[in-house]
A and B are shown apart, each in its own frame.
Chain A
Amino acid sequence: MEFVVEEGKLVNEDCSTLVLPALSIGNVGQLAVDLLVSSTGAERVGYLDDPNLLPCVGNDAYGPLPCGDIALPLEVYESSSIATTLAQQRSPVAKGLMIKFAENIADFAASSGKKHVIVLSSLDFQRLHNLDLSRGPQVYYLSNAESDGRDDHCERLGFGRLREYDSEGRCWKYLSSVFEKNSEEELTFPSEDELEDIDYYPSLPFAALFSAFKARGLKVTCLLCYCSEGDNIPEAFLLAEAASKLTGLTPDKFHGEEGGKWRIPYSWKSMYGAPPDMSMF
């Protein structure tokens, strides 16, 4: 993976936190990063060129009006006011290459001096076994602060620990062994036929990223929420707000519109396609 600095831009060495999405149901992580980039006014400083990523291009996603600035599959944004780097991924990883991709991006994070990585992801609502609606939409987390995934700061913020995380589980151990170069255990690649329900969580892209960053000695926190596929804007807000709380962002650092603190990206205007053709009525 090569990091290409955009012409005329400088990378801020003080941005020690990296926020990035994991591919997940409803594209929630990616939508959340869109919100963060748009609202914090973070500027694009470069691109990550990875051979495992499928290609895509588009017009500027954020606005206020699209001005023809090209958007690439994996872009890096920074805002010195929030001392945070945001990476946005717009296209999928090629089939079967997620582990290589995770390794590459962990290398980038480590070599560019990041200390804390926050991964935003959603989980399939059909996998949620203990539904508790009394507290409203819940953000879950997984951290490498402690071996059981627990983190005091996340607990104080009211996030729920992902109880399904089991560091000794077969698939979690496999992921750890793949990314830890000096691992003495040689574990076999789990075949699709062998996977059980409990293997759902480590099979997801966020788990590969978590394990890769952990292996590089970085602090990593995954912020998760359950959802079904549909209009996933509410979940994007939920995760973006959770990420801003975790990083200590305050509303005065956001550009607001209409009294709110979030700025809706311009590209969201056509997220669900064109309106219906009224001439048919």
Chain B
Amino acid sequence: MEDVLTENPPPSRFFQEDLNNFVPPPESIPSPFILFSNPKPELPLRPSLLIIAISSPSLYVSHNLPSKTLLGSLIMPEVPFSGNTIEPSLEDKSCNIYSLSSTDDKNSILLVSVQLPVSPERSNLVSRLLIGQDIIPERVIILDSIQSRNFRGRLSPDETLAAKLETSAEKKATSHLVNLDYFPSGSVIDGLSASLLSRCQLKNIRGTLVISWPEFGPSVIKFIGALLKKIVPSLDVASVNKDLEKNSSRTGLKKDTWLDSDLYT
């Protein structure tokens, strides 16, 4: 073991292997894919709005929305199904695709609930599947949490915050889906939500990433519910807010990946 007093410290902004050309490339893993329910819908799907829920509060809201139809699931071969239930559950490691539309306007609004961990290295593949291949949306809303490790300001656990980033196409539109301040310059968002918004920008799709804080709790869940109701007035969010205060402050908390263990299912 290295002596922490006399040995040189490692760099803090990079891992050593990030700066090493001779680290072996990763082992190849089979690509993710989307499995659609029977009967298979006509592809590509062309929703007028694609909502992608990634943060714990948004997943809680999505799960409690009534009247949604399961269209399919995005499968990541490296994520085991063990512990998943037959009926969709908030505890599942899954990425389900739902239709929120009425029967008149089938598949016009799609909702994706990303309940499985997507590593940054796999984010590009997942975002290509969700946007631009079998699903070609007109507009996209991505819901994620502010990542405290990448945020250059102060985050109070008592204060609900939200900000947005949007693509150029959304920015220059005459009406905006979301009316929030922009995420401050100097801070970044990484991971799947960043990959999804980048994909929208590259494909010239109207996309908005809403990042909220804190990562869980009734206040931010109410905020997300109200936001979605404003964007889709026909959405029934009444059941989302039911019994919210009775639940613990960690309502809908997505388990940290490093806490998960396949030993316990």
CB-CB under 8 A from A4, the residues of chain B are: 202
In the complex, what distance in Å separates the CA atom of A99 from the CA atom of B11? 22
Which of B24, B124, B183 lies in contact with A55, CB distance below 8 A? B124
CB-CB under 8 A from B195, the residues of chain A are: 55
What distance in Å separates the Cβ of A34 from its nearest Cβ neighbour in chain B?
A: 11
A205/B185 in contact, CB under 8 A: no
Contacting A at CB under 8 A, from B154-187, are 154, 165-169, 171, 182-187
A21 at the interface (CB under 8 A from B): no
A94 at the interface (CB under 8 A from B): yes
B194 at the interface (CB under 8 A from A): yes
CB-CB under 8 A from B11, the residues of chain A are: 25, 229
Interface mask (A64-75 → B, CB under 8 Å = 1, otherwise 0): 001111101100
Contacting A at CB under 8 A, from B170-217, are 171, 182-195, 197-198, 201-202, 204, 209
A203 at the interface (CB under 8 A from B): yes
Q: Which interface residue of A2, A61, A93, A267 has the most chain B CB atoms within 10 A?
A: A267
10 of the cross-chain contacts (CB-CB < 8 Å) are A26-B13, A54-B123, A54-B190, A57-B193, A57-B198, A72-B198, A95-B18, A126-B8, A271-B152, A274-B154
Q: Number of contacting residues on B, CB 8 A?
A: 51
A85 at the interface (CB under 8 A from B): no
Q: Please, which residue of chain A has its CB at the minimum distance from the CB of B24?
A: A96
B120/A55 in contact, CB under 8 A: yes
In the complex, what distance in Å separates the CA atom of A202 from the CA atom of B154? 40
Known: A6-B168, A93-B18, A274-B152. A63 touches B185 (CB 8 A): yes
In the complex, what distance in Å separates the CA atom of A70 from the CA atom of B196? 13
Closest 7 A/B residue pairs (Cβ) = A66-B185, A270-B186, A55-B195, A270-B152, A96-B25, A55-B194, A68-B182
Q: A47-B202, A57-B194, A271-B186 are in contact. List 13 more A-B contacts (CB 8 A).
A: A6-B168, A26-B13, A57-B165, A59-B185, A59-B187, A61-B185, A70-B167, A70-B197, A95-B15, A96-B23, A207-B21, A268-B186, A271-B152
A57/B197 in contact, CB under 8 A: yes
What distance in Å separates the Cβ of B90 from its nearest Cβ neighbour in chain A?
A: 26
A94/B121 in contact, CB under 8 A: yes
In the complex, what distance in Å separates the CA atom of A51 from the CA atom of B125? 8
A229/B12 in contact, CB under 8 A: yes
B233 at the interface (CB under 8 A from A): no
What distance in Å separates the Cβ of A88 from its nearest Cβ neighbour in chain B?
A: 13
A256 at the interface (CB under 8 A from B): no
B258 at the interface (CB under 8 A from A): no
In the complex, what distance in Å separates the CA atom of A21 from the CA atom of B25? 22
A270/B168 in contact, CB under 8 A: no
A175 at the interface (CB under 8 A from B): yes
In the complex, what distance in Å separates the CA atom of A100 from the CA atom of B168? 29
B17/A95 in contact, CB under 8 A: yes
A192 at the interface (CB under 8 A from B): yes
Which of B25, B182, B204 lies in contact with A7, CB distance below 8 A? B204
What distance in Å separates the Cβ of B200 from its nearest Cβ neighbour in chain A?
A: 9
A60/B185 in contact, CB under 8 A: yes
A76 at the interface (CB under 8 A from B): no
Interface mask (A34-49 → B, CB under 8 Å = 1, otherwise 0): 0000000000000101
Known: A56-B190, A68-B171. A205 touches B197 (CB 8 A): no
A189/B22 in contact, CB under 8 A: yes
B264 at the interface (CB under 8 A from A): no
B165/A68 in contact, CB under 8 A: yes
In the complex, what distance in Å separates the CA atom of A93 from the CA atom of B25? 11
Contacting B at CB under 8 A, from A136-193, are 171, 175, 189-192
Interface mask (B1-25 → A, CB under 8 Å = 1, otherwise 0): 0000000100111110111111111
What distance in Å separates the Cβ of B111 from its nearest Cβ neighbour in chain A?
A: 22
A84 at the interface (CB under 8 A from B): no
In the complex, what distance in Å separates the CA atom of A175 from the CA atom of B192? 32
CB-CB under 8 A from B121, the residues of chain A are: 54, 94-95
Contacting A at CB under 8 A, from B85-113, are none
